[in-house]
Amino acid sequence: MKTIKIAIMCLTLAIGAGQAWAQPTKSRVAQNAQRQNAAGTSKASTAASAQTSRASLMFPTAVDVPEDVSWRRDIYRSLDLTKDENAALYYPVEPQGDQVNLYTLLFQLLNQGKIPAYTYTMNGREDFSQTNRMHFKDMLERYGIYYEVDGKNIKVAASDNRSAEVLTFYVKESSYYDQHTATYHSRVVAICPVLHDSDDFSFGGEGATKYPLFWVKIEDVEPFLSQHMVMTSNINNAAQMSMADFFATNKYKGDIYMTTNMQGKTLAETAKSDSAMVNEQKRIEKEMKDFEKHIWAAPVDSAKIAQRDSIAAANAKTSKTKVKKEKASRTDSRSTTTATKKEKSSSSKSSGSTAPRVSVRRQRH
């Protein structure tokens, strides 16, 4: 009986030991499977970032705006794509081979997951936080862009992306003075395509409602903009440059519609009329040009600037005094000449009145 009990106990221990040794093997298999799945997921998720990194290495771009600059001014411009200065960003409306316009290029990059986009907020300012990331499919549904789903891919025909209706681009431009390199720059920071949605009552694009679609950071799209060339002249069709250079060299032309200010107001909110808005735009443009003009003497040589201005003011005052004296002397000389003439005239008259008159008659013989 004892022998049977001992045999049963040994068998139980053997089974438990087998299970104990077999369990780690199963867990290792499960862990390996999880690692493989995680590796596949990470590869898929980093594919877009890898493409972006490769593009950045192949097409290096300018550095970002430094955070510790001594002076910076942020302004927002509205680029009208129907003007010749900005037409390079609009044509061709539909892709022609490798040639695409700016909106179509951004649309394709978003669909392929190569660049991030950020939702346009109500205050009109960019928000590049992770919580404000825009989903491509949400944008399509929000603005009525027809698409088809093929597995994990979203297909949009070139004629359905509403490229012809994107007639405006918003651009955030930062002008700053870098004290570390003693240089002045004016760079584009972000861009936003604007859709013009015309209803049945609008005619010729007038009265269309504008819908800003999304913001993208220029540093995210610059590697891809460097690969696409645009024509920059109506006269010389061989004159071309990349889209990145088009923005880097400020070839675009746009009106200021907003600035970064403490009250967070747009020009339309502060200007009471169209003429007042135009005057405010001109004032801001002049401020920017004046700062760039005097940038080399601005922060460090303020004493010299004050001395130079005082000397200039003194010289101007002296020149004004000199001009006044010259005018006064000219007036005195003229008055003296006039008095002399009057005296001569009066003397001649007086002498003529006192002299005897002599009459001569001719006699006939």
- Dihedral through CA 316, CA 322, CA 324, CA 326, nearest 10? -150
Q: Which tokens in the block code for residue 302?
A: 């303020």
pLDDT in the model for residue 22: 42
Q: Which tokens in the block code for residue 138?
A: 């949400």
Task: Report whether pLDDT(29) > 50.
Answer: no
Helix (H) or strand (E) holding 289: helix 274-293
Alpha-carbon distance 109 to 117, whole Å? 10
144-182 pLDDT, tens digit each: 999 999 888 999 998 899 999 999 999 999 999 988 888
Mean pLDDT, the chain, rounded, equals 78
Predicted confidence band at 21 (pLDDT cuts at 50, 70, 90)? Answer: very low
Predicted confidence band at 49 (pLDDT cuts at 50, 70, 90)? Answer: very low
283-296 pLDDT, tens digit each: 999 999 998 888 76
Task: Report whether pLDDT(39) > 70.
Answer: no
Taking the model in full, what pTM does it have?
A: 0.65
254-266 pLDDT, tens digit each: 999 999 999 888 9
Most confident of 15-24, 35-44, 219-228, 290-299: 219-228
207-247 pLDDT, tens digit each: 789 999 999 999 999 999 999 999 888 888 888 999 999 99
pLDDT in the model for residue 260: 93
Predicted confidence band at 326 (pLDDT cuts at 50, 70, 90)? Answer: confident
Q: Which residue has the higher pLDDT, 27 or 304?
A: 304
Distances (CA, A) of 336 to 69, 141, 343, 345: 66, 91, 11, 14
68-80 pLDDT, tens digit each: 888 999 999 999 9
Residue ranges of the domains in the chain?
Answer: 71-297
Q: Cα-flanking dihedrals φ and ψ of residue 119, to 5°?
A: -65, 140
pLDDT in the model for residue 107: 97
pLDDT in the model for residue 164: 95
Q: Are 183 and 303 in contact (CB under 8 A)?
A: no
Helix (H) or strand (E) holding 54: helix 2-58
